[in-house]
Amino acid sequence: MTNWQPIETAPKDGTTVDVWAVWPYDDHKGQRFTDVYIEDEPFEVVGAFDDRAFDEDWTFTHWQPLPEPPKEAK
């Protein structure tokens, strides 16, 4: 089961999420960017991107909430 949701429904209140983006060149299949947040005006995805991987030509299409952290071992 997937938790991916359309990017238009993403929270824009500083909540940290993962996003999926597609690259319009060279038949790139897309890439997941983790631990980012979305600003609404103007729409912008903000986070610690790998400068090599992130470029303004990426189109963000989906988002999903972060998974629950692991439970501590007893």
8 Å CB contact between 17 and 11: yes
Per-residue model confidence (pLDDT) at position 67: 87
- What is the arrangement of strands in the sheet containing 59-65, beginning at the earlier edge strand? 5-6, 59-65, 17-22, 31-39, 44-47
pTM score = 0.75
Question: pLDDT per residue over 14-63, tens digit each?
Answer: 899 999 988 888 777 888 888 888 887 777 788 765 544 456 778 889 99
- Evaluate if residue 1 carries a pLDDT over 70: no
Domain positions in the chain are 5-65
Q: Which two tokens stand for residue 36?
A: 């980012």
